[in-house]
Structure 1
C-alpha cells in the first residue's frame, strides 16, 4: 500500500527530522514534559519497562523482577507513574528504551519519569523515540565511555526537539500505527509458530528414523526398554560404552589460559563453538603447536564427536562431528566444558550425531544431568546411555536420509526467518514514516478505525 504525502512541508530545523508537514509545530521536550520523582507505595504495582514493548500494564512477578530489575524492600524508593507519563531507561535510551504508562503504578528508581505539561498523546512521542533516527539522536545526547555505560540524563533529554501535529492528528496516527502493527505482529507470530512446528517436525523425523528405521514394513521386536518401545528386529539396543569410549578435556597444569590463545595454530574449541549440532568456527581461537604438544588429553581427531557436557549457554549434551574434510583442521583441542566421544567400527559417528538429536536421547540426558547453578553430564552418564544400533550400512542410509530431510526443514525455516525480518523492517519503516510526517495516514486511519 502506498501513502500520499502532505500537501506542504517546511524545514523543521531539526537535523534528524529534516522537513516536516507545514502545520506541525516544533517543541523542546522540556516544554512538553517535566521530570517527576513521586514516591511509590506498597499498594501500587511494580511495572516493567522494556526496550521492545515499552511499559507493561501489569505488575512484574517476583521471578520476572529478579531478571529485569533488583527489588528494593522500601517501596518509597520506587517512582510513582500515572497514565500518559513517559518513562525511559537512562541506560537504554540509545536502544529505544521508552514507554508510555497505561495504568497507575511505580517503576524502578533507575528510570526517568516525565509527565506531560500540556495536553497531547505521549504514545506519539514513544513511537517517535523508537525510530532509528531518534535512537541515534539519543546516543548523541547520552554520556559514557562505551555503549553500555551511556546515560541519558534529564538535563540533556529536555533539550531534545521534536515536531508534532495537533492532538487529534497525533491520535489518528497512533490509531493507524496500532492497527497496522497488529496486522504485522500477527503475521510475525504466524511465522514464529511455523518455525516452532518445523523444529518439532524435524525432531520427530529424526527420532522416528533412529528408532524405527526407514522401512515401514520391517519386522519389529520389543526393545526391552519401556520408553523406547519396538525397534526393527535386526537392530541391537545396547549401552553406548559397548561401542564407544570417552576422552575428557585436559585440566592439568598445562591447560591453556587467555594468555595462551593466539590468532593461528591449533584450533581451540569451547562449548560456544557447538551451535545447532554443528561446529561454528566464525569466532575461532587457537593455541600454539608447542602448547598443544604439552597437553595430554582432549585432542580431537577426524570422526570424533565433540560434546558439550557443562555450561550455561546452549543445550548440554549437544554434539558436533569433527570432520577434517569439512573444517580443514587436522586436529583440535577441547576445553574443560567438553568431551570427545570416539566410536568403534560398528557405530558410525555420523549416525550417532543424528541419534543425539532425537527425543529419546535427550530424555535420557535430562535424567542424567546434575548440578544446580550449572548443569553437567559425566562420562558415566554417557556410557550408560542406550543407543539403537542398525547395521553399519543402514546407519549410513539413515544419516543420509536425515541430512536430506533436515535440509528441507532448514530451507523452510530460513524462508520463515527472512519473512520475519522483512515484516519487522516494514513495521519499523511504517512507524518511522508516519510519526515523522513523511507520509499522510490520516485518511487511512479513519477508514481502518471506523
Structure 2
C-alpha cells in the first residue's frame, strides 16, 4: 500500500541535470538529485544516448531518496527554445457552478489555433479566468453561465521536443508533460503580488543567462545572453594558464570561501571573477532599464549556480538598479544537496495549478494501480523505446494562476525566501538521514 505519491520534475541543463520529487500529499516535502550533464551544449541536444544515460543516473539517485520507482516525469523547457502566442478559451457552464470539466474544456479551446510548421505546444500559461466577465483567481465552484480564460501558448520546435522524448524513452521514462522553466521557477521565487504587479526573474546558468519579466500574470518579455558560469571558468583558465578542470576547482574554492592561494594569486582570481560577474550583470541592468519607468516593477530575483553559487556575490557586484535585487544563493555550485529551483518549481507548479488538479488526481490513481502491474523493467529496451518515444498526444499540464476576487488580502507578499529556506533545510535533512 503506497503511503505517498510524487510529482517528478526534470531540468536538463548544459552542466547539470536536476530532478525533483514533490509530494502530492504534502507539497512542502521535496527531494532532489543532481548529476553532471551529458549529451547537451548551448546549441541543444547533441547526443541522445549520452543524455538518456545521464537522465537514468539522476532519476536513480532520486528513486533511492524517495524509496519509490519512477516511471514518469515532467520536463522543463528553457525559454530560448520557445515562442509565446496569446490565446483565449471558452466553456459554457453546464451546472450551476464552474467545475474541472469547464476549465479543461476552455483550455482545450485555447489550444485550437494554427501553429507554424514544425512547432509543438509545450505549455499553456493561464493569465486570467473570467466567470460571466468577472475576473477570478480560482473559478472552481463559482456560480455563473460562462467561463472564459486568457492565456499564452508556449510552443517549441518539434524536432527538439522529439529529442527529449527519445532520450526519456531510452531511459525507460515516460514524459508526463512539459513546462516552461522560467514559469516553473516563478512559482517558487515570486509571490502572487510579484506576478501581478511585475517582477524580473534572472536565471544564471552554466552557458547562458536568461531574463524574464512577469506582469499581470503574463510572461511579458524575455532575453538571453551567451554568458554564464562556464565563462568565468574559461577566463580563469586563460589568465592563469591552467586547465579548465583546475580552473573550475579554483572557482569552486573561491565560491565557497575555501580557496587557499597566496594573496597575489587570490586577488587575481577575484579580479577575474568580478570582471565577468559585472559583465553578466550589465546585461541584467540593460534588461531592467527598459522598465525603469514602471514603478510597479520593484523586484529583481536572481538564481542559478552561474552567479548564485558565489556565497559572497554581494561583494563581487554592487547593484546600481533602482529595484530590490535578491540573489538566491542556496543554489550552491556542485553541491549534491543543491536546491533544484526549476525542476522543483515545475513539480510544485503542477501541484498548485488550478487546472491541473484533475490530471494530478488521475496520475496518482494510475500510479497506485500500476503497483501490481508487471514492471517495465521486464520489457526490452527496444520495445520500451518503440512504445514511448513519441507520445505527443499527452495532454500538456502546466500553468499556475491564482484567484482574483473582490478582496486584495491574497496579494500580501508571501515570505517566499522563508519558504525556500524551510524546504532547503528539510531537503538537506532528508539527505543527511539517508
* TM-score, normalization by structure 2: 0.21
Question: Which has more radius of gyration?
Answer: 1
TM-score between the two structures when normalised by the length of structure 1: 0.20
